[in-house]
Amino acid sequence: MNVLTATKLAISRQAIIFLSIFTLSGIAAAYAQSDAEKGEKLFKSYCASCHAPGNNQLVGPGLAGVYDKYEREWLYEWIKNSTALIESGDADAIAVYEQYNKVLMPAQPVNNEEIDQILAYVKDFNENAPAEETAAATTTDEGVAAEEQETSPWFILIIIIALLVVISILRKVQHSLSIVEAKKSGEEVEEPVSMFQGILNWGNRNKRIVGLLGIVLIALVAKAGWDAAIGVGVYTGYEPEQPIKFSHELHAGTNGIDCQYCHNSAAFSKSAGIPSPNLCMNCHTYIQEGPQYGKEEIGKIYEALDFDPVTKTYGPNTKPIKWIKVHNLPDHVYFNHSQHVTVGKIACQKCHGPVETYTVGKQHEPLTMGWCINCHRETKVQMDGNGYYDEIHNRLPEELKKEYLENGTITVSELGGIECAKCHY
């Protein structure tokens, strides 16, 4: 075997090895995520509305150093149910509660592994981010609502195209060497085959590799299809423009108006209700100019009610305000606000996020079945002082009272909260 022939074989082998290694490396790079990367997505979903990963204080404190300041088990309890931890008399929990103006942190539907990933992201952010980025901590509600950068099949397609280009170059080099070798031996030079035909020929000679690549491609297509399917109907971060720029931050945050003052049916009805413009007039009959939008947005309320702010009289030409619904559950899903608000004593922020920080109402959680089930599995039933459960307690055998009631370990799932018929017709 002469040098040119050996070189051609070496190039062919290198092309095969390069194709296999580069493809598998690209796939691994595309889908392998560290805890910090997973934690960043979780942080943006559950934490970014109230906390910065650095030192800046938003609604709550900046999280820099929290992973070293507190025991991990304490953080698990605090993040999943801070209210219970405060009521238990825990000194650290009470200190945090007092330090931040007695604002309760909503319980978060995350498990211990996800909390570890969030803390890994926060630690990585503070240890590896540029100093100015850590100081600025510019994560905002807009950042949460923005689309997360996720690896897609396009990345794999780019890798494949790059591989084809490299193979094409190697084939041209191989063909040039063949010409040189043929001329030296006086043989006729074979006409070069097309790149497509060359790929077919290579595939026929390397059927096992082709089979492996086919399996990988099918897996990638299946993964892309799965990701697309589970995202159908999920509108996390949905923030439609409303006909009137109502600021939740001003009303619920700055002015401290209780959510149920406007959404007054949440405590006794399936629906939280949309407040009537007449309810707005309880205040805006006399408050005719706001600190943020002046008279413009309040004027839209007057126009809908045909109200004259000078004479304070109403006309006959009223018209409805066409609010855009933010939270839409599928028709086959049953959800009752009063069951959660009155019986379950669940804070509005549990599902709707820190509404008191929103300028415009938006969907904070995914509201998927998995998210609801996870919440039912982790949320303890609020039985203390809750008359709804008195009859159940009276019928409960003494040994079960001691096992469950005294330990306070009953979760919603243990009372049928994950049965299909509870939420589906």
| pLDDT tens digit sequence for 348-399 | 999 999 999 998 899 999 999 999 999 999 888 887 777 777 777 778 788 7
Please tell me what DSSP assigns to residue 411. Answer: B
Q: In this model, does residue 11 exceed pLDDT 70? A: no
DSSP run (H or E) holding 317: none
Q: Can you tell me the mean pLDDT for 28-57?
A: 74
Size (the chain), residues:
425
Reported CATH class of domain 35-145: mainly alpha
d(CA 240, CA 360): 8
Tell me what the pLDDT averaged over the chain comes to.
80
Lowest mean pLDDT segment, chosen from 146-155, 276-285, 416-425: 146-155
Nearest to 148 by CA among 127, 121, 175, 172: 121
Residue type (1 letter), 388: Y
d(CA 304, CA 320): 6
237: left (phi over 0), alpha (psi -120 to 50) or beta: left
Q: In this model, does residue 142 exceed pLDDT 50? A: no
Q: In this model, does residue 415 exceed pLDDT 90? A: no
Q: Which tens digit of pLDDT belongs to each residue from 70-121? A: 888 888 888 888 888 888 888 888 888 888 767 777 778 788 888 898 888 8
DSSP run (H or E) holding 313: strand 313-314
Q: In this model, does residue 127 exceed pLDDT 50? A: yes
Q: Which tens digit of pLDDT belongs to each residue from 305-322? A: 999 999 999 999 999 999
Sequence-ordered list of residues with C-beta below 8 angstroms from that of 56, at least 6 positions apart, any chain: 62, 135, 136, 137
- Written as six digits, the tokens of 376 are 């039912």
Q: Which tens digit of pLDDT belongs to each residue from 228-237? A: 888 888 889 8
